[in-house]
């Protein structure tokens, strides 16, 4: 194994550049190093001006998502050794998001979309704290648990060509998280979320390319969540057409 590897990193300074360019750095190719370690090596030893986001280094915070050789990845979970044969690792900002500086993108669009689907519990009746918890059985937890693993890293947005082509699309993670609450036995907000989700910019924008699910580092399966919601929305629409007196 070679002792070093070339890191090709996107640089963009909004004050000086009109568009991004790539800069090469030679970094040690250590077996236990991930791409984030290499970026930190560059920042500490070679070029302190390199800007990127990171926090936990253990795949929990979802901050260090970047494009690594064209694939959306958490850089804290992507080992340099996986790319040793290539000799070069190209690290770029997450695709389809506006670049603020170097590898930092603006995810404000995702955050406002996430908020629009009300990703919080909407219980039937608001209870006081002293009345105790909203109880749930392990079986009820199991129904939505997979979707609750989302860490908002937005790798799924960087994998989704629909989001790239049509930025009004609400996107995979926001829909998966809406499903996480819709399927929660303690929640009664499904109808509120339906108004946002059952639109063209919502679930119907999805053409099921399926790459969001492949990119997800937490195995949330947002593509599955969207298709399941399409079925729910269709059944709901049919019900309201057949029994107009029954709903709303």
Residue 112 DSSP SS3: helix
How many of the other CB atoms lie within 10 Å of CB of 7?
A: 24
Q: Site for other proteins (CB under 8 A): which residue of 50, 66, 91, 99? A: 99
Six token digits for residue 154: 């937005």
Backbone torsions φ then ψ of 62, nearest 5 degrees: 75, 20
Which string of x and - marks every residue 195-214 that binds other proteins (by CB under 8 A)? ------------xxxxx--x
Residue 228 DSSP SS3: helix
Q: Site for other proteins (CB under 8 A): which residue of 53, 95, 113, 180? A: 95
Q: Where are the alpha helices (DSSP H) in 54-171?
A: 108-116, 138-144, 155-159, 161-165
Residues 112-171 binding other proteins (CB under 8 A) are 139, 142-143, 161, 164-165
- Least distance (Å) between residue 57 CB and other proteins: 27
Tell me whether residue 69 or residue 82 sits nearer to other proteins (CB atom): 69
CA distances from 135 to 24, 120, 183, 184 (A): 54, 16, 15, 11
Tell me whether residue 5 or residue 223 sits nearer to other proteins (CB atom): 223
Q: Site for other proteins (CB under 8 A): which residue of 2, 3, 14, 246? A: 14
Note the residues at the interface with other proteins (CB under 8 A): 12, 14-20, 70, 95-96, 98-101, 106, 139, 142-143, 161, 164-165, 207-211, 214, 221, 223-224, 227-228, 230-231
């Amino acid at each position: 194994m070679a002792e070093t590897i070339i890191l090709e990193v996107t640089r963009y300074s909004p004050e000086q550049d009109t568009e991004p360019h790539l800069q090469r750095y030679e970094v040690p190719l250590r077996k236990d190093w991930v791409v984030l370690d290499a970026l930190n090596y560059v920042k500490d030893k070679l070029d302190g001006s390199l800007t990127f986001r990171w926090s936990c280094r253990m795949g929990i915070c979802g901050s260090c998502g970047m494009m690594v050789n064209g694939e959306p990845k958490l850089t804290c979970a992507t080992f340099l050794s996986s790319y040793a044969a290539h000799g070069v690792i190209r690290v770029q900002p997450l695709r389809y998001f506006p670049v603020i500086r170097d590898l930092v993108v603006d995810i404000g669009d995702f955050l406002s979309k996430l908020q629009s689907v009300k990703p919080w519990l909407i219980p039937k009746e608001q209870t006081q704290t002293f009345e105790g918890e909203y109880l749930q059985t392990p079986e009820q937890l199991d129904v939505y648990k997979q979707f609750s693993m989302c860490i908002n890293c937005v790798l799924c947005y960087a994998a989704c060509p629909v989001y790239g082509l049509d930025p009004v699309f609400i996107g995979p993670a926001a829909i998966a998280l809406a499903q996480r609450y819709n399927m929660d036995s303690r929640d009664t907000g499904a109808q509120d979320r339906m108004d946002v989700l059952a639109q063209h910019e919502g679930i119907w924008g999805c053409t099921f390319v399926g790459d969001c699910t492949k990119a997800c580092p937490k195995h949330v399966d947002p593509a599955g969540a969207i298709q399941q919601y399409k079925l729910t929305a269709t059944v709901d629409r049919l019900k309201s057409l057949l029994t107009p007196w029954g709903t709303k």
